[in-house]
Structure formats: C-alpha cells, structure tokens
Amino acid sequence: MKSQIHVNKLKTINKMSKTIKTIQLLAIVALFIGFTSCSSDDDNSAPLLEVASETVSNLHAPQTGGQGQPVSGQFAKFNFETGKTTTSDTDWDIAFRGTSIIVNGGTTLGTTDEPNRTGESAVYIANGTMASVTNVNTSLFTQDSDTGYAIPTGSGNGWYNYAGPPTHLITPIPGKVFVFKTRNGLYAKLEILSYYENAPANPDAFTDATPYYTFNYVYQPNTGVTTF
Amino acid sequence: MILNKKYFSIYFSLFFVSHSFSQETKVVATDSSKTENLNEVIITATRTIRQLSSLPLPAQIISKKDIERSNSIRLNDILNEQTGLITIPDFGGGEGIQLQGFDSQYTLILIDGVPLVGRSAGTLDISRITVGNIKQIEVVKGASSSLYGSEALGGVINIITETPKYGFNGNTNFRIGAFYTSDLSTTINYKKKKLGVTTFLNRYSSDGYDLNKADDLKTVDPFSNYTFNTKVVYNFSEATQLFASGKYYTQNQDYIASSTLKGESTINEWNSHLKLSHKYSEKWSSYFEFYATKYKAKDYLDDENNSRFSNSYYNQLLIRPEIRATYNPDDKSAFIGGLGFNHETLDRTDFTIQPEFNSPYLYLQYDGNLAEKLNVIIGARFDSHNKYKSQFSPKAAIRYKLNDNLNIKSSVGYGFKAPDFRQLYFDFTNATVGYTVLGYNAVSTAIPELEAQGQIANIIIPVSEFQQELNPENSISINIGFDYKFSSVLKLDLNLFRNNIRDLIDTRIVANKTNGQNVFSYYNVNKVYTQGLEFNTIWKPINQLKISGGYQLLFAKDATAENAFENGDVFARENPSSPSFQLKKEDYFGLFNRSRHMANLKLFYTIPKWDMDTNIRGTYRSKYGLLDSNGNNYLDTYDDFVDGYTIIDFAINKTFYKNYLLSFGVDNLFNFTDSQNISNIAGRIIYGKLNIQF
C-alpha cells in the first residue's frame, strides 16, 4: 500500500494561489520590515513555510463487503504533514476505504477495522474550486460521530455521484472542495479528481480498477493561518 | 451530425430545384383557391364556430387534405411536422406532445371538444389516435383554462372527426410499410333528411422494431389495435339536433421486460358523447352535453416457469355533464357560458385509496368587435374541487387590424393543472431496487407505517410539512404577434410567447431508508419559464405549389437554476477526472429535452394533368440534453447532448378512375436513427397506400 503512493510536487501552481502567495510574501515582507524597524527585543519570528499545491495519485483504498454486507478492511490513512500514507494509529489526518472518507477527529462509527480517532481532525465541504476556496471558515468544521461520518456517504451526499445503470460510474461531484483541519489543528483543502486507477479522462466502471483515489490538495503548514 | 447537415443541404437543393421548375410552369396559374385560408373555421379557440383568420389567439389548423397528402396514420405523425410541436417518447413507450416548451402533461388533448384521459405516467400517448376519420386538427397555443379548465396550460389540441355527409358513401384506406406496419381504415356514411350515420373502423398493427440489436429486448414490441367509432346525427327540426358518438379503442401489445420476463399489456378505452343542441332564436342557442370515458390499461409479466411475476392495472373514469348557451345580441358580438361537473375516479395498483375527484365548474366568455378594426375576447372560468384549491382562470385577447395586410394580436391567459391522482395517492415501492414513491396525500399515513416496520433510517422532511394542500401547477401565458399578408400568395405570421409557470410539482427525497434507498414524494417547487418566438409562412407562387415553413426559438429555463448559475454555485469538469471550474450564467442551457431551434419546411406540388400530387417535408430539431452528465444536477453547455437532426419525408399520390388513389412514400428518407437517445424514430419507412372511395 505504501509503495502505491506517488506525491508529485506540482511545478505549475495555478495563478490564483500564486497571486495569493505573492500577497502573502508581501505581507510577510511588510511585517518583517515593520518588526525590524521597531527593532524589538524578541526578533525571533520564523519566516512562514511555503504553501504548495500537491497531487496524490492512485491512493489505493480497498474495502471488503458492502452492497448490503458488513463492510471491513483497513483504511488507507493519509498524513498531510508528510504528504504520504501511513499505517500509524495516531499520525494521520484523513483516511479512505471504498467510497468512505473519515477524519482523525470525533468518534468512530464502529464499523469493522475502523481506526479510533486520536486527533483533532475535522472537515467541511465548501462549494467552489481549489482556486476560489482561499479562506477557512472555522465555524463550519464537523467531526465523525457514532451516527455518521462528517463527509456523508451515498451518491450526491458527500463527494461523489453514482450514475447507476448502465454506466455505474462513480464520479466526484464538481465544485466540492473539502476543507480539513488536521489532527494538529492546521488546515488543508482538497479536491478529489478520480476514483479510478490512473485517473482516466473517460473512466469505464467495468474495466478501470477502483478504489484508487487521485486528488489535489493544498496544505497550510503554518499554525494559525486560515488562508491558502 | 455532419451527415445530417449534408441531408439538410440536399433537401434545400431539392427545394430550389423544384422551385425553379415550378416557376417555369407558372403560365397555367389561375386564381382559384387562393382564398381558401380565409374560410377556415376553428371551434377550439372560442367554443363557437370562428373564422381562423380573424382570431386574436395563436392558433393553427391542420387540414384533412394535408393529413391525407402526407399519408399520416397516427396523430403523432402529423403533429410532429407542425411548427413548435414535437412528440417526446416517455419511458412507458408512449409519445406525448411538447408545445411552447411545455411537457405533454400540460397540453389538453380533446376529441370533438371533450378530453381524452389515461395519463398513467402524465403523458397522454397520442399514437393511440388514428387520423383516419379526422376532418381537421385544431391547435390553440397559450393557456386556455378559461374555457377548458385543468391541463390547458400550454394549449389545447382538438381533433375534429368527420360528421355524416349527405348521401350513402364510404371509403376504405389501406397502408402497408416497413416493420409489417399496416393500417386499415373504413368509413361508411349515410345521411338522408333527418338522420345521418357514420361508422368508422380502423385496424393498426406492427411487428415493432429494434434499434439496439445488442440486447434481448426490442425497442417497440409487436402490437395491434382497433378503433371503432359510430356517430349519429338526428335533426328533430331545423332548430333541434341530436348528436351521439360512441368510440371504442383496444390495443394488445407484447410486453417483454427481459429474456426471462414476458407478458402482455392491453388497453381498452370507451368514449361516449351525447349532445343535444337547440336554437331558440337568431340570438339564443343552448347545448346539453354528456360525456363519459373509461380508460383501462393492464399488464402482466410471467417468469420462465410461467408463474406470475407482476401484475398491474389502471382504470380511470371521467363523467362530465355540461350545459352551455350562446347569445348573439348582434352580428358583432357573441357570448358563451357553460356550467358543468367533472366526476373522476381512478383504481390502480400501488394506490393507497381509490380516489374520487368531483369538480363543478362555470365559465363565461365574450367575443366581440368593439370597433370595426378591433376584436376582443374576454373570458373566465371557475373550477371548484374537492381535493385541491379552487381555481379562477381568466383570459383576455385582442386583435387590431392596422391595415388590410397587417394584424396585431395579443393574449394573456391563466392556465392550471390539477395535481393528478398519482401525485396525491401513489404508494409504490420498486421491487428490485427498493426505493419508494409516495403521493403527497399518502405521506402522512405511509411514512409512520414504514417507520413502524423499521424501514426508515432518518426523516429528512417532517411529515407535518404535508398538512397543507398541494397547489395546482399554474402558469400565466402571454402571446404577442402579428400576421402580415405580402400578397395574395405570400403570408407570414410571427408570435412571441412567454409562459411563467409556478408551483411546478417535482419529487424530492422525504426520508432515507435502511436499505440505503430513499423515499420520494411530490412538492410544489420550481419557478420555470418558457419563452421564444414562432414564425410561420405560406407561399403559393403558383396554384399547384404550396410551400410552407415554420420555425420556433425556445428558451425553457428554471428560474431557481438560473439564479444558482448567476450566484456562481454551479461547477463542472472538463472530463470526470479533471479539476472543477465555476460555470457562468450563459453556461446554463435550460430544461432537459428542449431544443433551442425547431424548424420545418414543406413543399406540396400538384400536377392536375396527371391527377397526381407529391410532397416533400423536412423537420429539424437542434441539439438537446436528456440528462445531466457532469454531476452538477443542471443541464449546462459542458454536458453531453443529443445531436440535432433532420428528418425528410417524401410522398407521391396518384388518382386512377376518379375513386382510386394510389400512394407511395418514404418517411425518414435518409434513415436517421439514434438508438441511444431517441426510441421513437424507427428509421426509414417505405410504404404503399391504396384509397378507394365508394
């Protein structure tokens, strides 16, 4: 499972986040100038870490059961800090199994093999694009609970549409951006691109393998910063 | 669609070839029959005999002559060729008519002024109706509930059948064509002195067709149906007349649901219509009308062991007595008023109860020439109902004659459609998938029952929200247009329309079930509008040639959806695996199954010397969307569309020995099909027809 993950540093960061980064940079510079000119005693404020857009391809998240049978199987856990999957019981932010996505926060729904929540992760679904969702609205976060996941399951409810017969395709709903709080209280935004292996432009539910998540995300590594 | 464009251009080149040909023969042109359109009368628009050319409403007549020359056999054949009308197949296999962007459930279909019933899924299947005994078809566009009550939102289509003509005569007509489709009609007519009788018999059958050979199922299964119609007219005196009509329709069709599930479906329909009219004086007349119709449909499926898998039935009854009176104080004005009662019952599978609708109604209309050049129609109707809100439906229309060639007309009307039995009382659970559909009035009893059975996971819309009555769907329609006569041989008319539809009834999820499926019910929601323009022209460059063309531009949109686009709440992806982007207002295409453009061009040419006539007819429909293919629930320009298409029909008719007419024709000349999206276009149909008059 570990080997199936490839994190690609995206060289082409979209214009919007570039502009934002420029603004941020200017802000930092201004702050820096401000601080230096004040010539304060405690001049040890670390420069902000860079915010980058990343793509994760083919995160494999199989499940057994389903379609009326009890669901089981290990969740594929993902750590925003490292940008990698992990088998750690604690150092994960979100996890995938079949079409279910859980966060490391709240309580377990109690399905077989479901990990206990150890962190402060939470999520809300924003309407928009990766470029347009630039601020975190901290009042919207919800966590998993014993009655349901914070990202609702089922077609049209959470992240995907199920087309039904004849194509049976599972496709991500356009305009849904997931804003996460990580287990450590940092923020990330994420857009799912595909549920099929190698994210084909025109997937075929009968020939393309699932569940292989491909998604874009932006991680804000700086504490207390609620913008991307 | 490159191919179709090619066909279209071929069609147009044919059109110009025949045109230049016709100009050469112009020498023999005479002046007769150029005024034929002036004499056309229509009764649907005002419920009185009314000259079409002076009517302030958008209306149209399809003549028997055009139906015969086109060799149409069913109502859908001929309506599909009219401007702004298109038949849409529904999942039940029926074909309903779309008019000014309205779905088929919003257009009232009448035969001799009384309505047909049997809309089991909302659609009235117009392929049920033979054109063999039709005198003319009248189409009135714009809301007409002021005269006809429920269902007349988009408009009214009235099929006027033949009445007994003097003498003893008859005719028989037989057409056979592709897919072993045969149609046999016979009319026997008698009229002497006071008594007139006409009897009509039609048999129509087909082996059906299969557009997708890959699966086990046929697109249309084999069927046969019969229509019997007898009319009696008796003149007690000059002033008093009795009209009685009885009609019976029966159809039997194979019903193949899968390779293992096979069965049959049958439809039986009776209509009895009685009318007694009396003229008291030059000014006063009265009519007593009694109409009863029963529509019974049933089907069954057996599995491979011949044991019954499913059974369903649908029995609808409508009884309507009505009295009406006309008063003509002078030759400039006419009043009509009516009082009636609708009694309707339905017994069908998956219903909570056997519902009964009772609805008395009253209407009044004034039609008069206030000045020499000014015609005005004002009318209103009140429908009281035992199961939903009473409705008041006014209408006003005005026509002003600017000069001998130009008339301006305008009308505003209110139309409504009562919630149908299904929307109120349905209680249906899909046996294989497990979802449930509940009628609005069924929710408050069915949800607690499902809850008690442990089938409900959570309730999304509380049952208490279903206490209020469901509102009838309603619309306000506005039509503004003009007709212009360039000369005695060239006329055109143009009509702009706008329909504001409120309280559309849609389905929504009421509760989630424990099996992962949902419970759906109906509710009043959408604000929808349709608007556009319609254009018709007739040109008769010479006596033997008639060229007509029509075009409709249509925007049919959901105002709520339009807002969502405007607010930037709608997103799409270039392909399913690419990032989302925001859609703009202009990316919203509109409602499903509506084409922006529809057009037709028809050319009728007569060769009197050879007792022959021929025609070529083309209809075009631009692209339309059947479903949301990119997951945002709206039809936007990034969705998959059904390509636009053109269908060309050709026919040639020759008369022998006066009483024999032999015809040959090809419908859908270029064999257009779209097996994926269009189930009611079978492909090329070559046919022959024989008509004998006796």
CB B101 within 8 A of CB B554: yes
Local structure of residue B104 (DSSP, 8 states): G
Nearest to B91 by CA among B125, B67, B59: B125
Q: How far is A70 from chain B (nearest CA, A)?
A: 13
Residue A9, pLDDT score:
38
Confidence band for B91, pLDDT divided at 50, 70 and 90? low
Residue B92, pLDDT score:
59
Q: Nearest-5° angle of CA B514, CA B517, CA B519?
A: 95
Residue B53, pLDDT score:
84
Neighbour-count burial of B581, counting CB atoms closer than 10 A to its CB (0-12 exposed, 13-18 middle, 19+ buried):
middle
Set of chain A residues whose Cβ sits within 8 Å of the Cβ of B512: 154
Query: Quick one: closest CA in B to A213, which residue?
Result: B577
B507: pLDDT strictly greater than 60: yes
In this structure, which amino acid lies at residue A141?
A: F
Chain centroid to Cα B393, Å, comes to 21
Q: How far is A194 from chain B (nearest CA, A)?
A: 5
Nearest to B148 by CA among B376, B322, B356, B347: B322
In this structure, which amino acid lies at residue B438?
A: L
B518: pLDDT strictly greater than 50: yes
| Distance in Å from the first CA to the final CA of chain B | 47
How many whole angstroms separate alpha carbon B147 and alpha carbon B439?
A: 29
* B605-647: pLDDT as tens digits: 999 999 999 999 999 999 999 888 888 889 999 999 999 999 9
In this structure, which amino acid lies at residue B627?
A: L
Q: Does A98 touch chain B (CB under 8 A)?
A: no
How many whole angstroms separate alpha carbon A14 and alpha carbon A129?
A: 12
Residue A70, pLDDT score:
79
Q: Does A179 touch chain B (CB under 8 A)?
A: no
Compute mean pLDDT per 10 residues along chain A, 228 residues long, and list them: 38 42 49 44 63 90 79 92 93 94 92 92 94 93 91 86 83 94 94 94 91 94 90
- B577–A196: do the CB atoms touch at under 8 Å? yes
Sign of the C-alpha dihedral computed for residues A198, A202, A208 and A213 taken in this order: positive
* B472-495: pLDDT as tens digits: 899 999 999 999 999 989 999 999
How many whole angstroms separate alpha carbon B110 and alpha carbon A158?
A: 47
How many whole angstroms separate alpha carbon A205 and alpha carbon A58?
A: 16
Chain B residues with at least one Cβ partner in A under 8 Å: 512, 515-516, 569-573, 575-582, 630-633
Residue A98, pLDDT score:
92
Which residue in B570, B577, B582 is closest to A214 by CB distance? B577
How many whole angstroms separate alpha carbon A191 and alpha carbon A128?
A: 10
Cβ pairs A/B, distance under 8 A: 62
Which residue in A154, A174, A200 is closest to B630 by CB distance? A174
- B630–A129: do the CB atoms touch at under 8 Å? no
* B667-687: pLDDT as tens digits: 999 999 998 888 889 999 999
Verify cis geometry, omega within 30 degrees of 0, for the bond prior to A174.
no
Mutate to test the interface with A, among B435, B571, B577 (most CBs of A within 10 A): B577
Could you give the C-alpha distances from B189 to B73, B197, B657, in angstroms and in order? 20, 6, 21
Mutate to test the interface with B, among A12, A134, A157, A171 (most CBs of B within 10 A): A171
* B399-457: pLDDT as tens digits: 999 998 999 999 999 999 988 888 888 888 887 778 889 999 889 889 999 989 888 87
How many whole angstroms separate alpha carbon B211 and alpha carbon B89?
A: 14
CB B409 within 8 A of CB B478: no
Alpha helices in chain A (DSSP H): 15-38
- In this prediction the ipTM stands at 0.75
Set of chain A residues whose Cβ sits within 8 Å of the Cβ of B579: 129-130, 191, 193, 216
Query: What phi and psi values does residue B117 have, to the nearest 5 degrees?
Result: -120, 180
How many whole angstroms separate alpha carbon B318 and alpha carbon B149?
A: 14
Mutate to test the interface with A, among B430, B519, B571 (most CBs of A within 10 A): B571
Residue A46, pLDDT score:
65
Query: Exposed e or buried b for every residue in A139-166, given b needs 16+ CB within 10 A?
Result: eebbbbeeeebbbebebeebbbbebeee
Residue B29, pLDDT score:
34
Q: Where does A20-172 show beta strands of DSSP type E? A: 52-60, 64-66, 69-72, 76-79, 84-86, 94-97, 100-103, 122-127, 160-162, 170-172
CB B136 within 8 A of CB B65: no
How many whole angstroms separate alpha carbon B525 and alpha carbon B561?
A: 12
Query: What phi and psi values does residue A137 have, to the nearest 5 degrees?
Result: -100, 100
How many whole angstroms separate alpha carbon A208 and alpha carbon B122?
A: 39
How many whole angstroms separate alpha carbon B663 and alpha carbon B689?
A: 5
Set of chain B residues whose Cβ sits within 8 Å of the Cβ of A200: 577
Residue B73, pLDDT score:
93
Number of Cβ within 10 Å of residue B296's Cβ equals: 17
How many whole angstroms separate alpha carbon B510 and alpha carbon A161?
A: 19
Chain centroid to Cα B155, Å, comes to 9
Mutate to test the interface with B, among A13, A53, A55, A127 (most CBs of B within 10 A): A127
B153: pLDDT strictly greater than 60: yes
Residue B492, pLDDT score:
94
Query: Quick one: closest CA in A to B581, which residue?
Result: A129
Could you give the C-alpha distances from B659 to B27, B165, B653, B665, in angstroms and in order? 29, 17, 13, 20
Residue B2, pLDDT score:
40
Listed by start position, the domains of chain A span 6-11+51-220
